[in-house]
């Protein structure tokens, strides 16, 4: 498809979708949403770009193979459970720390956010692998 309107719209909508996917990712580690929904939104942004500009341009914009995203996400999700083991608690028990920033104040960070980030990367990678393969078929 070579629609000028879709190309222009995708240039503006892709960064907006990615920004909202990160907001959903951060919000979701304490509330519904999180890694899965954020990952789907980020993948949708890249699929929109692929529909407008082609799969090769979308792969170039991504700059990383989706299979590496899947592997990194699985590794991060696995590693998010190990801090609990070091403190004598069961695997995947949430561990929390407070980050003190001069301008932002106190920000609570924990291993559930790392787990959600792993899910986020896995969902983006798997979705892009499937949809890029479907879009490359003639």
In whole numbers, what is the pLDDT of the chain averaged over residues? 89
Q: Say if CB 111 and CB 84 are below 8 A apart.
A: yes
Q: What is the DSSP letter of 103?
A: T
Give the single-character DSSP code of 80. T
Nearest Cα neighbor of 116 from 24, 51, 46, 17 is 24
**Residues 6 or more apart from 87 whose CB is under 8 A from it?**
95
Number of independent structural domains in the chain: 1
Q: What is the pLDDT of residue 56?
A: 93
Find the domain containing 40 and state its range.
Answer: 4-136
Is residue 3's pLDDT more than 90? no
- 49: confidence class by pLDDT, cuts 50, 70, 90: very high
- The CA–CA distances, whole Å, from 72 to 24, 58, 131 equal 20, 20, 20
Predicted confidence (pLDDT) at residue 138 exceeds the cutoff of 80: no
Read off the tokens for 3: 């629609």
Residue 1: which residues within 8 A CB-CB, separation 6 or more? 51, 52
pLDDT beyond 70 at 1: no
Measure CA 129 to chain center: 14
pTM of the model: 0.87
Q: Which percentage of the chain shows pLDDT scores above 70? A: 94
User: For the segment 66-108, what is each residue's pLDDT rounded down to a tens digit?
Assistant: 999 999 999 999 999 898 888 889 888 888 888 888 887 887 7
Reported confidence tier of residue 110, pLDDT bands at 50, 70, 90 = confident
User: Between 33 and 6, where is the model more confident?
Assistant: 6
- The winner for highest mean pLDDT among 5-19, 20-34, 86-100 is 5-19
């Amino acid at each position: 498809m070579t629609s000028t309107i879709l190309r222009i719209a995708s240039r503006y909508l892709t960064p907006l979708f990615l920004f909202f996917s990160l907001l959903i990712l951060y919000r979701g580690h304490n509330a519904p949403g999180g890694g899965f929904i954020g990952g789907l939104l980020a993948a949708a942004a890249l699929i929109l770009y692929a529909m407008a500009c082609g799969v090769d341009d979308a792969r170039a914009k991504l700059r990383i193979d989706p299979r590496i995203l899947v592997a990194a996400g699985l590794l991060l999700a696995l590693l998010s459970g190990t801090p609990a083991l070091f403190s004598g608690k069961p695997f995947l028990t949430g561990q929390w720390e407070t980050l003190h920033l001069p301008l932002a104040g106190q920000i609570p960070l924990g291993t559930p956010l790392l787990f959600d980030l792993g899910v986020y990367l896995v969902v983006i990678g798997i979705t892009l692998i499937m949809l890029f393969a479907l879009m490359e078929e003639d």
